[in-house]
Each structure stands twice: as C-alpha cells, then as structure tokens.
Amino acid sequence: MSHPRRQGMAARVVQSWWAPRRVVRGLQGMPDRVMLVVLMLAMLFMLVAQAPIHARAAALDPSRPFEARMGGALIAVMFMMPLLAYAVAALVSLFSRATPWRLAPEASRLALFWALLAVAPAMLLRGLVGGFIGEGPALVVTDIVAGSGFFFIWGAGIAALARRVR
C-alpha cells in the first residue's frame, strides 16, 4: 500500500469506509484553503446527487419545472450548506471543551468536511435510487447506508483528531 500522502482523493474516499481514522490522521495539517476545496467538492457531489430526484419530481408535477427545483437546490447546497457546515464544526469544537477530549477548530472542520466528501458516493447512489425508483424500501436502505456512513466516518475522524486534556 502506498504512503497516505501519495494516495489520490478517490482512493482515500473509498478507504474512508473501512479505515476512516487512518485516512483522517493522514490528512492532518491540511491547509484551510484545501479544506474549503474538500467542502465545496462534497457540496458539488451533493448537488449532482439531487438532479435525478428533482427530474423525477418535475416529471410527476410539472407545476415546478426542473430548472426551478435545481436552482433552489443550488442555493441551498452551494451557499447555505457550507455556512452550516462551518457553524456545526465550530459548535462541535466548542462543545468538546466540556469533555476531556479537545477538538481544535481546524480538526473539527477536517473531520466534518472529509466525512461529507467521503459519503459522496453513497449520496450519488441515493440520488440515482430516488430518481429512478422513487420512494420505497430501496431508498430507505440507501438513506440508512449514507447516513450511517456519514456518522461513522465523522465520528471516527473526531476520535482520531481529538486530544486528551488532563
């Protein structure tokens, strides 16, 4: 296996599903500008994942066209979600002060932003299932996989980056 710094992003995303602590530890020290790129790339994947669902909804209810639905999704995902992600990372870092495990603000951002990017393949699958199959057991299963994967990777990233304070 190659050195973690030499792996591509796609390989790290896949590896995050079975060894998230090792991947996040290998990403420590990532500059803020690169973390922002990771976040925006994750948001772009989330936006693309919504396209099949919005296309299906627009076909079933043409009163709101696809373009309007995707325009709303664009504003929500590319503008509002990054602000929310920064706020959540700041709150997690702040709340960690009440525990013996401290999480620096940069570490909190890295854990959250990386989890969002690492779960992108599951979100793309969710979008395809929602767009082609629609509501039902298949969508529920993909929601569970994507949600569980996100919380597993995020939690492991937090655990890998938190420092014990006495």
What confidence tens digit (pLDDT) does each residue in 94-129 have?
A: 999 999 999 999 999 999 999 999 999 999 999 999
Tokens of 116: 């969002």
Is 165 a residue whose pLDDT tops 80?
Answer: no
Return the pLDDT at 9. Answer: 86
The answer to whether residue 133 is domain-embedded is yes
Predicted TM-score of the model (pTM) = 0.90
Cβ neighbourhood burial of 136 (10 Å; 0-12, 13-18, 19+): exposed
Q: Specify if 18 maps to a domain.
A: no
**Residue 60 CB partners (closer than 8 Å, separation 6+):** none
Residue 33 maps to a domain: yes
Give the structural domain span for 90: 29-164
Query: For residue 74, what is the enclosing H or E element?
Result: helix 66-75
**How many domains would you assign to the chain?**
1
What pLDDT, on the 0 to 100 scale, is given for residue 1?
44
Specify if 4 maps to a domain: no
In a domain, 159, yes or no: yes
Quick check: is 49 in a domain? yes
